[in-house]
Structure 1
Amino acid sequence: MRNNKTLFGVLALAAALSFAPASGVLAEELRTPIGSQADRNQGNYPKTGLSQSSVRAKWGNPQEVRGPVGEPPITQWHYQDFVVYFEKDLVLHTVLKRQTGR
């Protein structure tokens, strides 16, 4: 009886491990040198909580406006280097666009 339980446990463990992904096979590690991050992170971009009128006054008119969509209404303002997300009239988040050619 004890041998059956041990055998069943070993078989269950082997079956579970066969369905687990092998380490590193399904994942890719991306490395960005810290020096190349700093120049973009130090940039002057709209901060959370600014109003649409403040953003427009400092950075001008966006190249493109998308939205509003959903509830609460979310609007995107697209500039050359970043996208500003507004919830109603306030900056929710600013996302830097991917730089090409690096």
Structure 2
Amino acid sequence: MKALKGLAISLSVVLATFVGTVQADEVRVPISEQGSGAGIETPKSGITQASVEQKFGSPQAIHGPVGDPPITKWVYSGFTVYFEYDRVIHTVIHHQ
């Protein structure tokens, strides 16, 4: 019993030491800046592939269509556009 009590105390000291040395950085992004893309203009949901290409030019890469409904991904230098059939469903700004 004494051995178990000593082991429990030793384990507690080791855990306290370990936990006390863990550190992490916290990144705070003001709500007004979240998802802002630093002023990058992107296609709006609902517009057609033809409209996107007319306004933003040809994409650097095209992936798809994949699945049902068919989802296609167009990659530009600052963002990626996702289409369902030929309509924009989402745009993701690339992390810089």
> Once superposed, what is the RMSD of the aligned Cα atoms?
2.8
> Could you tell me how far apart the structure 1 residues matched to 2:27 and 2:69 are?
34
1:72 to 46, 59, 69: 69
CA deviations on 1:40-66 (whole Å, 9 max, x unpaired) are 264311000000000000000000000
Map of 2:89 onto structure 1:
92
Structure 2 gap segments, 5+ residues each = 1-21
Alignment of 1:21-36 (within 5 A): 29-33=26-30
CA deviations on 1:79-100 (whole Å, 9 max, x unpaired) are 000000000000000000010x
Percent pairwise identity: 51
Structure 1 gap segments, 5+ residues each = 1-24
TM-score, normalised to structure 1, is 0.62
TM-score, normalised to structure 2, is 0.65
